[in-house]
Amino acid sequence: MEQDEEQDIKFDTTPDSDVEDDELIQDWSQAAQLSIRSSTLPKRGEKDYEPDGTNVQELLLYRARKSMFDTLSNSARGSVVKNLVKAYYDPSEHKALILKPRGNFLHTLGKMDRTGTVWLEFYEFVYLAERGTITPFYKMNDIDWINQELPLTIEDLYMLFKSQEELDKFFVFGHLKRLGFIVLSTENCLDSFFEPRGENSSKRILSNTWNLLPQWRKTLHNAIFYSPWKFWLNKHTSNSQMYQSLNQLIPSYKAPRTQEELRKTRAGIAEKPSNFPISLNVWKPRTDFKKKNPGLPDYQVVIYNKNDPNQHFPTYYELRKIFKHLDYKFEFLSEIDETWDWNDHSYHDGKLRSKTIINSKAKVSGTKTTTDTKKLEKKKPKKKFKPKSPRVQQKIRLKNGFRSFLLAVMDDGMISFVKISETDFGSENVWYVPQSAAKKQNL
């Protein structure tokens, strides 16, 4: 009886359009024969292995499992030698080199020297080896390391990490890359929002210190003349008067809001934060990305490992140092001005980015730069700028803040990203009452 039922059953290899992708399953009934002849597998069919009280479903499940195991055991495994991309780890440089580079990963990873050799950072080397894009080898200086290759496993690569900080950087880098972002290290970055330091650097340092004097005078005045009796002697007839008096007493930090204020805070800073360095620059996915001229990043990442006893959560003063060293696309600047163009307000290798782009296009096309500049001047913004009410702008400033960075918190291999922004509550009049509301209260 079971044999007769088995002969009557026919497998439908065509997928049903009404069935969801999660309910579809691969049909391995003829895959064992096709794996020997060709490399293609049959189409997916309906899932028909749910119990119905008979032995038919068990027989179908057994035959499907047997076909799958036969396919896996008989199929040829391996990779084509011509398609292998070999990368060699250099222990003296703690980097990896690719003698014959090819692949799409070269658009966002690695640096090519004059000889055509691509050098990978160690975390890039491990990431590409884990993904299967390259085949890792060890470079031995004493012997002919090209002809006598020493392959490396993933376990060997993890043993070559020099510190926990480097391993944490690799975890964050790999996580962001798998999400689709473009990630590069902050070292040797040629793009910057700030002007290169020159003759005017000393003047900016003096102006920066001069701007800090009102804050010191305010705190000194409050320390001398502040007394609880002031609230008993002075009469406050409204909430705004009370908040204004508190605003004069409580010292606050004023965040930079304009391009000039940002550059003044950056002037005179030489030392980078040692405890919490800015490790990675992150760009949103782009098709026109170029490693030589990437532009300002969209985000910057600082890494903190909470399980490391030598590390701690950044303090207030450490956060201030991190904010001063941020160098990315400050979104609050472009939201204010509708004609804002980051190419006109950023620098590449000490030169204005818009000019370098025009010069590079002129070299390729062979035309003059004057025609390109006129075209750029005639261009109009694509999006129409809709001015927002002052109240809405204040809410946006209080919610999003001004400068910000991503703090990647490592917790036993788990990565959590926390956005830390610089919000200025001291200079915002949150007690402001519109005139219409004030008239209603008086009535």
pLDDT digits (tens, 9 = 90+) for 88-137: 999 889 999 998 888 888 999 999 888 889 999 999 999 999 998 999 99
Instruction: Label each residue of the chain as H, E or C.
Output: CHHHHHHHCCCCCCCCCCCCHHHEECCCCCHHHHHHHCCCCCCCEECCCCCCCCCHHHHHHHHHHHHHHHHHHHCCCCCCHHHCCEEEEECCCCEEEECCCCCHHHHCCCEECCCCCEEEEHHHHHHHHHHCCCEEEECCCCCCCCCCCEECCHHHHHHCCCCHHHHHHHHHHHHHHHCCCEEEECCCCCEECCCCCCCCHHHHHHHHHHHHHHHHHHHHHHHHHCCCHHHHHCCCCCHHHHHHHHHHHCCCCCCCCCHHHHHHHHCCCCCCCCCCCEEEEEECCCCCCCCCCCCCCCEEEEEEECCCCCCCCCCHHHHHHHHHCCCCCCHHHHHHCCCCCHHHCCEECCEEHHHHHHHHHHHHHCCCHHHHHHHHHHCCCCCCCCCCCHHHHHHHHHHHCCCEEEEEEEECCEEEEEEEECCCCCCCCCCCCCHHHHHHHHC
Q: Are residues 220 and 299 in the same domain?
A: yes
Mean pLDDT of all residues in 298-305? 94
| Closest CA relative to residue 412, chosen from 307, 303, 301 | 307
Is 373 a member of any domain? no
* 92: CATH: 3.40.1170.20
Which pLDDT band, with edges at 50, 70 and 90, does 18 fall under? Answer: very low
Instruction: Give residue 221's pLDDT.
Output: 55
Instruction: Give residue 152's pLDDT.
Output: 92
Task: Report the alpha-carbon distance of residue 129 to residue 135 in Å, rounded.
Answer: 6
Is 172 a member of any domain? no
Instruction: Give residue 21's pLDDT.
Output: 45
Q: Are residues 302 and 227 in the same domain?
A: yes
pLDDT digits (tens, 9 = 90+) for 229-239: 666 666 777 77
pLDDT at residue 247 is higher than 90? no
Instruction: Give residue 159's pLDDT.
Output: 94
Instruction: Give residue 39's pLDDT.
Output: 53
Q: Are residues 406 and 305 in the same domain?
A: yes
- How many domains would you assign to the chain? 3
Is 348 a member of any domain? no
Strand partners, 88: 97, 137
Q: Are residues 58 and 131 in the same domain?
A: no
- Write the single-letter amino acid at 173: F
Q: Are residues 218 and 301 in the same domain?
A: yes
Q: Are residues 289 and 233 in the same domain?
A: yes
Domain that holds residue 330: 201-338+385-421
pLDDT at residue 357 is higher than 90? no
Q: Are residues 246 and 277 in the same domain?
A: yes
Q: Are residues 114 and 211 in the same domain?
A: no
Q: Are residues 42 and 119 in the same domain?
A: no
Which one of 57, 74, 91 terminates a domain? 74
Q: Are residues 65 and 85 in the same domain?
A: no
Q: Are residues 64 and 86 in the same domain?
A: no
